[in-house]
Amino acid sequence: MLLRREGHAVNKKRVYRLYRQERLMVRRRSGRKRAIGPRSPMPSGPSRRWSLDFVHDQMTDGRRFRILAVVDDGTRECLALIADTSISGVRVGRELDRIVARRGRPGGIVSDTAPS
């Protein structure tokens, strides 16, 4: 923008060439992220499908904590929020057993957790 105000001819190719000559890093924009695999429609009705997701944050003193959120996809009701500094797989299973005892068995469970 500043070069254009001074009357210099500027375009993407010229800027890129100058960056390369000066051995500067040019940040390239990444493409659009697309979903992998077929999408299934949202279930209608309670206890057809539950979603699990981990949320994490940090306290002011630097300690980290995680929250396991269990949501009924049909009603969008939060079935459980389990907060702790560490949540093991055994603990996840135990909490799911408690919810199943209260609410009944769901048609399916999907996990929204992806490696970060």
pLDDT tens across 23-37, in order? 887 677 788 888 777
- 2 vs 116: which has the higher pLDDT: 2
The model carries a pTM of 0.61
Count of domains for the chain: 1
* Residue 93 domain flag: yes
Per-residue pLDDT tens digits for 51-108: 999 999 999 999 999 999 999 988 999 999 999 999 999 999 999 999 999 999 998 8
85 lies in which domain range?
49-111
d(CA 52, CA 93): 12
* Residue 7 domain flag: no
pLDDT value for 1: 63
Which residues have CB under 8 Å from 43's CB, separation 6+?
49, 73, 74, 107
